[in-house]
Structure 1
Amino acid sequence: MKLIEDILNDLKENYKDERVRDVRVGITWTAVLSRNLGLGYTFTGQIESGVRDVGKLTEKTAFELSDYLKSWNLAEAGIGAAAVNSILKPEGKLCENFDALRNLTEIGKGKNIAMVGHFPHSEDIRAATKNLWIIEKHPAPGDFPAEAADYLIPKADVAVITGTTLINKSMEHLLDLCKENDVYTIILGPSTVMSPVLFDRGVDMLAGCRVIDALSVLKKVSEGVGLVKEFKCDLEFVAMEK
């Protein structure tokens, strides 16, 4: 939890708090509109347990909602991640219109990649690598279970970790494994919290998104958007490097 505390402290020290103008919790994605529109991931298995202060979330500030990231109710934590992303502005060494597939095939050519989470085009990435180990909490055939991370990440040259691991509280341990074994580390996905604090934890690249059309994204989240490609031109994919 220290990682999350550090991210929240850095956010509050370096940004101005904002009024929350809208909150949407869809079946796959969660969106919070304050300064910008930020995305988080919806862990649907916990929605039935409810969200604190439901019906009053737009009466809170973005900083107050960002504290939900600490919650073990993962539906709340997804709201917290979206709130953080609604304030953060990616800065520093920035790559716009980031092509994750092209980048991963270039970085991973002939190398061992440990991928935590399923991403599109994984078979194309596999074709360019020496080994691609996909690690999942709910593994599909050919995947490895979450427990295998402790054994596979130390053998990897590159680790690609879904941004949702910050929400489910597994990121801190995964980053420790990467840093201890000098693994090139990428955090990837629309819910990625683009905080420079993660560079201090050994991350080499943060690959997330910037919302271009907030109204369209809000509508799609409310209507059950699932696959990232369904956002079409509503998002711009960006990457920050250490």
Structure 2
Amino acid sequence: MANAILKRTVEIVRDRLGHALDDVTIDRVAIGLFFTGVKLSTGHAGACATPVKDIPDAVCCPGSAMAMPFPGKLRGRRAADLLDEAMEQVGIRRTLGIATLNALAQMANEDRVDERIEIVEGLDAFAAAQVGVDDTVVVVGAFVPFLRELRRIGARHWVLEKDPSTLKPHEMPYFREAERAPEVVPEADVLIITGTTLANDTLGDLIALAKPSARIVVVGPTVTIIPDAFFERGCHILGGIKVTDADAFLDILSEGGSGYHFFGKSATKITLRKRL
């Protein structure tokens, strides 16, 4: 389903931009430790989580480096070409494709009004989910601010994570191995999923495990701010980003920065949700 969401979103972007897409090229690429960013010739930018642990070529030495898409060589390439890699490739090439898709989505969403969708800049996706003390929450990915807020509220919660080393000792009682998703996810009244699952093709499986009444939130810079395909497949809230200063944003990514470094400076949070 994750691939289906990508495919549908790419179709929407191509349809909205039409022939204008033909003239859009890649101006700059930054492959960072946490996120990869793409800036377009139009000035728009987008990001995707960098799959460092899943890149077999991310090792020394020259032989492996030959297979990597060097950022400098991508400058001037048609953005439309990288869209195809969002669906057809894996690893860092898919990452670049999704980052390009997210940049084009920001371009395609300008001045667009959809009465079915509420778009709120600066609103945190966790706040939009309106988690209550009586809710059981399952968080896919180590979202430290979300986990902190869940402990403050006192809501019953679990965190599914592939790498437990990303969690602090006081968070470990809530840890569940990612392989236990079929057991844990159906318990969720609120299911919060990292957008990285879009890149590794696990989003669809997680959505399918949720009970029908669950509120499903997909969040992170990897999330595309065109929500149609997500909402069509059961998601209720998307938490993405809007890049406000493309060059400063890519500078931060290239220096190993994350949301702590770019939110409120070169990017802002943006939440999209279905209108009741």
Determine the C-alpha separation between the residues in 1 that align with 2:80 and 2:266: 25
Deviation at 1:216, TM superposition (A): 0.9
Deviation at 1:182, TM superposition (A): 2.9
Selected match of 2:91 from 66, 74, 78: 74
- 1:68-126 Cα offsets, whole Å, 9 max, x none, are 2225532222111110110113554111111345445x324320011100113212223
Residue in structure 2 matched with residue 189 of structure 1 by the alignment: 220
Deviation at 1:147, TM superposition (A): 1.6
Equivalent residue letter for 2:79: A
Residue in structure 2 matched with residue 124 of structure 1 by the alignment: 149
Determine the C-alpha separation between the residues in 2 that align with 1:101 and 1:154: 19
Selected match of 2:250 from 204, 213, 218: 218
Equivalent residue letter for 2:75: T
Contact 1:98 1:238 in 2 (8 A): yes
Determine the C-alpha separation between the residues in 2 that align with 1:8 and 1:177: 25
Superposed structure 1 runs of 4+ greater than 6 Å apart: none
Contact 1:93 1:240 in 2 (8 A): yes
Residue in structure 1 matched with residue 259 of structure 2 by the alignment: 228
1:87 paired with 2:118, answer: no
Contact 1:188 1:208 in 2 (8 A): yes
Q: 1:4 and 1:127, CA in 2 relative to 1: closer, same or farther beyond 3 A?
A: same
Residue in structure 2 matched with residue 31 of structure 1 by the alignment: 37
* TM-score computed with the length of structure 2 as normaliser: 0.79
Selected match of 1:162 from 185, 188, 194: 194
Determine the C-alpha separation between the residues in 1 that align with 2:202 and 2:191: 14
Residue in structure 2 matched with residue 14 of structure 1 by the alignment: 16
Q: 1:109 and 1:80, CA in 2 relative to 1: closer, same or farther beyond 3 A?
A: farther
Determine the C-alpha separation between the residues in 1 that align with 2:79 and 2:213: 35
Determine the C-alpha separation between the residues in 2 that align with 1:120 and 1:114: 13
**Structure 1: which 5+ runs fail to align?**
none
Q: How many residues align?
A: 239
Determine the C-alpha separation between the residues in 2 that align with 1:80 and 1:186: 23
- 1:159-204 Cα offsets, whole Å, 9 max, x none, are 00011110111111112223x5331111111221123211101110
| RMSD, aligned α-carbons | 2.1
Structure with larger RCO (C-alpha < 8 A, sep 6+)? 2
Residue in structure 1 matched with residue 52 of structure 2 by the alignment: 44
Determine the C-alpha separation between the residues in 2 that align with 1:5 and 1:182: 26
**Structure 2: which 5+ runs fail to align?**
59-63
Determine the C-alpha separation between the residues in 2 that align with 1:20 and 1:41: 18
